[in-house]
Amino acid sequence: MVKWIVPYLMRIGERLLMASSVTITSMVICLGMAWCADAVGLSGAVGAFFAGIAVAHTPYRQTIESHMEPIGYAIFVPMFFVSIGLNMSFNHLASSLLFVGVLTVLACLSKLFGCGLGALVNGFDIHSSYMIGSGMISRGEMGLITAQIGFSSGLLSPAYYSDLILVIILSTMIAPFLLKHAIHHLPQTQKVDAPAL
C-alpha cells in the first residue's frame, strides 16, 4: 500500500510553496513509517527502511539523496553512534575476551562460508564466491541497531551488549583485509572488473 501512497504524497510535497519541500516530505514519510512500525511492535528502523525503499522508487530520489546525506552525517549518524557508545561498559572486558574472540571468528566464518556457498550454488566460481563471502562479513549499522534494540528491550545484559558491539566492530574491521586478499587472488581476467582497494 505504501508503494502507491508515497509517490502521491511526494507529488503533493513538490507543490508546497516552501524550500526543500520534497526533502521535508520524505522525512515526514520516514518518521511516520518509523512511528507506525513502533506502534505495531516492530523496530522503527524497519518502518524507516520500507519508507526509504518506497521513496527510492520515485523520481525525486536523487534530490532527496543529495539533501539527506549531509543531514544524516552531520546529525543522525553521530547521534546514533553516541547512543551506542553511551550504553557500552568495559568492566567485564577481561573476562569476556575469549567469548569476544570466539564470536568474532564465528561471525566471520559464518558470513564467509554462508554467503560464499550461496554464491557458489548460484554459478559463481570459487574465487568470486570467496570475494562475495569476504564482502558480506561486515555487519555494520544493522548489527548495531539489532544489538541496541535487544539492549533497550532488556533481552541483552550490559556485559553481553558490550561484547556484541565489540564483535560487530572487529568483524567490520576484518572484512576489508579479507576482501583485499580475495581480490589479489582473483585470476588476471577477473581483476579488470574488481574494485581497487
pLDDT digits (tens, 9 = 90+) for 151-183: 887 888 888 888 888 898 888 888 889 888 888
Examine the domain organization and report whether 180 and 117 are in the same domain: yes
51 within domain boundaries: yes
Examine the domain organization and report whether 102 and 186 are in the same domain: yes
Examine the domain organization and report whether 106 and 69 are in the same domain: no
> What would the grid cell of residue 134 be?
569476504
84 within domain boundaries: no
Q: How confident is the model at residue 43 (pLDDT cuts 50, 70, 90)?
A: confident
CB 10 within 8 A of CB 55: yes
Examine the domain organization and report whether 180 and 118 are in the same domain: yes
d(Cα 4, Cα 77) in Å, to the nearest integer?
A: 29
Place of cell 569476556: 96
In this prediction, residues 120-131 reach a mean pLDDT of 88
143 within domain boundaries: yes
Examine the domain organization and report whether 100 and 55 are in the same domain: no
Examine the domain organization and report whether 100 and 179 are in the same domain: yes
Query: Strand, coil or helix: what is 40?
Result: coil
Q: State residue 101's pLDDT score.
A: 92
82 within domain boundaries: no
7 within domain boundaries: yes
Instruction: Identify the CA nearest to 147 among candidates 125, 130, 162, 132.
Output: 162
Examine the domain organization and report whether 119 and 186 are in the same domain: yes
d(Cα 6, Cα 29) in Å, to the nearest integer?
A: 8
Examine the domain organization and report whether 71 and 99 are in the same domain: no
Query: Which domain does 118 fall in, by range?
Result: 93-191
Distances (CA, A) of 89 to 67, 94, 160, 185: 36, 12, 10, 40
Examine the domain organization and report whether 23 and 101 are in the same domain: no
pTM > 0.85: yes or no:
no
Examine the domain organization and report whether 28 and 61 are in the same domain: yes
197 within domain boundaries: no
172 within domain boundaries: yes
d(Cα 77, Cα 174) in Å, to the nearest integer?
A: 22
Burial of 124 from C-beta contacts in 10 A (0-12 / 13-18 / 19+): middle
Lowest mean pLDDT among 100-114, 118-132, 138-152, 163-177: 138-152
Burial of 36 from C-beta contacts in 10 A (0-12 / 13-18 / 19+): middle
Count of beta carbons in the 10 Å neighbourhood of residue 92:
15
Examine the domain organization and report whether 66 and 143 are in the same domain: no
149 within domain boundaries: yes
d(Cα 119, Cα 149) in Å, to the nearest integer?
A: 30
With a pLDDT cut of 70, the percent of the chain lying above it is 93
d(Cα 194, Cα 197) in Å, to the nearest integer?
A: 9
Average pLDDT, the chain: 83
Final residue before a domain boundary, out of 75, 103, 132: 75
Distances (CA, A) of 37 to 34, 46, 72, 143, 147: 5, 7, 21, 19, 18
Name the domain count of the chain. 2
Examine the domain organization and report whether 66 and 105 are in the same domain: no
